[in-house]
């Protein structure tokens, strides 16, 4: 997905921070051997997985959250540079902010953007200390999305998913979808420990995928402040295939197969490859209104 070269981004949404702050330990994942690997892989992507680890009173960790340094001055050209993940996230955040502000207002929903924190190695959050091993996640108490800067490289090397720019933006858009769910109260419908292809956990993940698809379709309609020209050019079929490929790669069944332990649908928390591709495509083709995974008889 290509940004208009001379587009200017100024969202004050994205910050860079983390890295060596305090001595924060890894989040305990539990289990041993392959099981740990699978759990780490599964939680690497998009999880609301950390929701359950959030302290109930949502009190900030003793070292305080990293506030980070605001990312400023990115242009569309910077965001198109394959090596410049920071500006790509900033450009994506600019577009998602505009898309969701408009969509929420059209639906009478009070909306505020999440914070997006890019970090290296480790970061302190309202959901506890996180390391790069956790991968991208949304932390509800902070209303913040955390993304490790090296994640997309990992995604390509370890999972074979295309590292294409739209695939990267899909990751951000999915986490943004969890933020929208948090605002609308839908995130609370996830029951702790619930799993399986039709579970509340999977329905929540598929809705976030659907919201991501709706943003992809709406992105080329969002405009920047100067001149009102679109920020993003409509995605090509190849780029859309990249995003669908990413959704396929991180399906629970694909991850279980990769882990070598056999496919066990009852343990799914994010949805199969087919489910994830279907809902991403549904959001893209039909928009936000088609994303009610909660009342769909089957997802
Ligand atoms: Zn998710």
pLDDT at 161: 55
pLDDT at residue 18, as a whole number: 55
Contact 8, 228 (CB under 8 A): no
Instruction: Extract the tokens encoding 159.
Output: 């999972």
Q: CA 117, CA 23: separation in Å to the nearest integer? A: 19
Query: Cα(134) to centroid of ligand 1, in Å?
Result: 12
Q: What is the pLDDT of residue 213?
A: 95
Dihedral angle at the C-alpha atoms of 120, 123, 129, 135, nearest 10 degrees? -40
Distance 178 CA to ligand 1 centre (A): 7
Distance 220 CA to ligand 1 centre (A): 24
Give residue 178's pLDDT. 96
137 alpha carbon – ligand 1 mean position (Å): 7
3-state secondary structure the chain: CCECCCCECCCCCEEEECCCCCCCCCCCCCCCHHHHHHHHHHHHCCCCHHHHHCCCCCCCCCCCCCCCEECCCCEHHHHHCCCCHHHHHHHHHHHHHHHHHHHHHHCCCCCCCCEEEEECCEEEECCEEEEHHHCCEEEHHHCEEEEECCHHHHHHHHHCCCCCHHHHHHHHHHHHHHHHHHHHCHHHHCCCCCCCCCCHHHHHHHHHHHHHHHHHHHHCCCECCCCCCECECCCCHHHHHHHHHHHHHCCHHHHHHHHCCCCCHHHCCCCCHHHHHHHHHHHHHHCHHHCCCCCCCCC
Q: How far is ligand 1, taken at its centre, from the CA of residue 56, in Å?
A: 20
Distance from the alpha carbon of residue 153 to the mean position of ligand 1, in angstroms: 19
Q: How far is the CA of 267 from the centre of ligand 1 (A)?
A: 16
Distance 160 CA to ligand 1 centre (A): 20
Is the distance from CB of 61 to CB of 124 less than 8 angstroms?
yes
Contact 277, 242 (CB under 8 A): no
Domain range annotation of the chain = 14-290
Å from CA of 93 to ligand 1 middle: 17
Alpha carbon of 105 to ligand 1 centroid (Å) = 24
Say how many Å lie between the CA of residue 71 and the centre of ligand 1.
24
pLDDT at 240: 85
- State in Å: Cα 275 to ligand 1 middle: 13
Q: Which is it for strands 69-70 and 14-17: parallel, antiparallel or unpaired?
A: antiparallel
Reading the chain (299 residues) residue by residue, the pLDDT tens digits are: 788 888 888 777 888 875 433 333 223 233 333 333 333 444 444 443 333 333 333 333 334 445 678 888 899 999 988 788 899 999 999 999 999 999 999 999 999 999 999 988 888 899 888 887 777 899 999 999 999 878 877 777 765 555 677 888 998 999 999 999 999 999 999 998 899 999 999 999 999 999 999 999 998 887 776 667 778 888 888 888 888 888 888 889 988 888 888 999 999 999 999 999 999 999 999 999 999 999 999 99
Please give the pLDDT value at position 131: 82
Whole-number Å distance, alpha carbon 128 to ligand 1 midpoint, is 18
CA 77–ligand 1 middle distance (angstroms): 29
**Residue pair 116/88 in contact by the 8 Å Cβ criterion:** no
Q: Distance between CA atoms of 101 and 110, rounded to whole angstroms?
A: 9
């Amino acid at each position: 997905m290509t940004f208009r070269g001379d587009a200017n981004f100024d969202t004050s949404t994205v910050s860079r921070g983390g890295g060596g702050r305090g001595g924060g330990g890894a989040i305990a994942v539990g289990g041993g051997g392959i099981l740990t690997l699978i759990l780490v892989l599964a939680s690497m992507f998009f999880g609301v997985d950390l929701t359950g680890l959030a302290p109930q009173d949502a009190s900030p960790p003793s070292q305080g959250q990293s506030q980070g340094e605001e990312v400023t001055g990115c242009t569309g050209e910077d965001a198109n540079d394959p090596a410049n993940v920071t500006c790509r996230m900033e450009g994506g955040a600019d577009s998602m902010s505009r898309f969701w502000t408009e969509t929420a207002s059209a639906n009478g929903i009070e909306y505020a953007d999440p914070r997006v924190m890019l970090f290296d190695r480790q970061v302190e959050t309202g959901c506890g200390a996180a390391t790069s091993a956790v991968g991208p996640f949304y932390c509800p108490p902070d209303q913040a999305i955390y993304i490790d800067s090296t994640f997309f490289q990992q995604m390509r090397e370890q999972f074979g998913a295309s590292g294409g720019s739209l695939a990267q933006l899909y990751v951000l858009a999915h986490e943004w979808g969890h933020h929208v769910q948090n605002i609308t109260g839908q995130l609370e419908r996830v029951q702790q420990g619930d799993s399986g292809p039709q579970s509340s956990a999977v329905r929540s993940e598929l809705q976030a995928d659907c919201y991501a698809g709706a943003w992809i379709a709406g992105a080329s309609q969002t405009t920047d402040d100067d001149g009102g020209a679109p920020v993003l050019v409509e995605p090509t079929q190849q780029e859309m295939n990249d995003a669908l490929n990413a959704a396929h790669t991180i399906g629970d069944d694909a991850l279980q197969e990769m882990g070598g332990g056999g496919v066990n649908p009852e343990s799914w928390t994010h949805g199969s490859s087919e489910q994830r591709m279907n809902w991403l495509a549904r959001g893209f083709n039909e928009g936000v209104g088609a994303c009610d995974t909660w009342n769909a008889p089957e997802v």
